[in-house]
Amino acid sequence: MPRKEGQKRKLLVLLEILARETDEKHPLSVPQLVEKLQEHGIEAERKSVYGDLNTLNSLPGAPYEIVQLRGRGGGYYMTDVLFELAELKLLVDAVYASKFITARKSKTLIDKLGQFTSRYRQAELDRKVLVSGRIKSTDEKILYTVDALHTAITAGEQVQFKYCDWNLQKKMTPRHDGQLYQVSPWVLVWENGNYYLIAYTEGRLKHYRVDKMQNVHQVAGSKREGAAEYAAFDVNTYMQQMFGMFNGPLKKVTLLCENRFAGAMIDRFGTGPILLPCEDGEHFTMTAEIQVSPQFFGWVAGFGTGVVVAGPPEVRAEMKKTLDRLQELYR
């Protein structure tokens, strides 16, 4: 008896049907699976489909399980393939929250993520409410910039690029008349929805915002520098010390805080700094290493009278100067 048409690809098509058309709320009976196969141009008998289901379930290392629901309205469905729905939602939220990914690329990526679950669950990944009011990049080249930087980091080579700023015409213009920067890239970090490159240059480690980098390319044959400095570098500490990714002199700063802001301090500085209760029972002090910048003073001011710079004296004095200047502006 000749083999029916499409038998060579029947298992693959059946696997795709189960992955995209079924979940625990939407099982398919064997007669329904036969119909679905016919829609794909594959003739199949019920008995052979039962055997195919057993074959698919017995494949070693398969990232799924085909489950049979018995009783009225029962049938077969496939459990999560590779990703659980909650994991996919987490990835979708990360894509939506990323300012450096354009709206068009966000939709493309989320559509691709949706292919890893059933079409019914894919509808749950439509979480567009999350992007309301969010600023998204309009430049998709950043994805290729990130890839070029990862490649250079893996190869251990230096990179060159132009570093840019926005002008009043809302265009990126290179700093220093288009001068090329050459640095040794070590790691990429993601902070506040932006990618930053940590690189060694001019005897120290510095950071660069990736979406402001243009024409990134490896410098062939240039060995990356700064291995000793990076070995002693703690990325998490570096990020905690900075506010708005603005550099400033590194100081040990003591803050006097109302007790209700304990959570805010832990969120910002982690559980490392010690929170020392004050005698009044309503305040505590904590000390952390901070790169002191105008953004840090703005962060403190955001707490009103609830957080005060207690020391050192020069940082406290600079905070007062900042507030005095602001007061002058609003007189």
Look up the pTM and report it. Answer: 0.59
Q: In tens digits, what is the pLDDT along the chain, a chain of 331 residues?
A: 345 555 668 888 998 899 888 988 899 999 999 999 999 999 889 999 999 999 888 888 777 889 999 888 889 998 866 788 888 888 887 787 777 777 788 888 888 888 888 887 787 776 543 444 445 566 678 888 888 999 999 999 999 999 998 887 778 899 999 999 999 999 998 877 778 899 999 999 999 989 889 999 999 889 999 999 999 998 888 888 877 777 889 999 999 999 999 998 988 888 888 999 999 999 999 999 999 999 899 999 999 999 999 999 999 999 999 999 999 999 8
DSSP 66: E
Q: What is the pLDDT of residues 88-112, one digit of tens each?
A: 888 887 787 777 777 788 888 888 8
pLDDT of residue 131: 42
Amino acid letter, 212: K
User: Is residue 75 within 8 Å of residue 34, measured between CB atoms?
Assistant: no
Matching CATH number, 7-78, of 1.10.10.10, 1.10.3720.10, 3.40.50.2300, 2.170.130.10 = 1.10.10.10
DSSP string, 210-249: GGGEEEEEEEEEEE---HHHHHT--HHHHHHH-BTTB---
DSSP string, 144-192: HHHHHHHHHHHHTEEEEEEEEEE-TTS-EEEGGGGPEEEEEEEEEEEET
User: Is residue 217 within 8 Å of residue 159, measured between CB atoms?
Assistant: yes
Identify any residues that bridge with 173 across adjacent strands, giving them in sequence order: 165
The angle at the Cα of 191, spanning 172 to 208, to the nearest 5 degrees, equals: 45
The two tokens of residue 106 are 């966000």
Burial 18-37 (b: 16+ CB within 10 A, else e): bbbbbbeeebbebeebbebb
Q: Where are the alpha helices (DSSP H) in the chain?
A: 10-21, 30-39, 46-57, 85-97, 103-114, 119-122, 141-155, 227-231, 235-241, 262-269, 294-301, 313-329
| C-alpha separations of 124 from 28, 48, 110 in Å | 20, 34, 11
pLDDT of residue 239: 82
Q: What is the rounded distance in angstroms from the CA atom of residue 24 to the CA atom of residue 295?
A: 50
**Nearest alpha carbon to residue 252 among 310, 319, 305, 299:** 310
Task: Characterize the bridge pairing of strands 250-258 and 283-291.
Answer: antiparallel
Matching CATH number, 141-233, of 2.40.160, 3.40.1130, 1.10.10, 2.30.30 = 2.30.30
Phi, psi of 56 (to 5 degrees): -60, -35
Q: What is the pLDDT of residues 163-201, one digit of tens each?
A: 998 887 778 899 999 999 999 999 998 877 778 899 999
Domain residue ranges of the chain, discontinuous segments joined by +: 7-78, 85-131, 141-233, 241-329
Q: Tokens 């001011």 identify what position? A: 301
User: Is residue 247 within 8 Å of residue 293, measured between CB atoms?
Assistant: yes
Amino acid letter, 126: D
pLDDT of residue 126: 67
CATH 3.30.70 fits 241-329, yes or no: yes
Q: What is the rounded distance in angstroms from the CA atom of residue 76 to the CA atom of residue 64?
A: 13
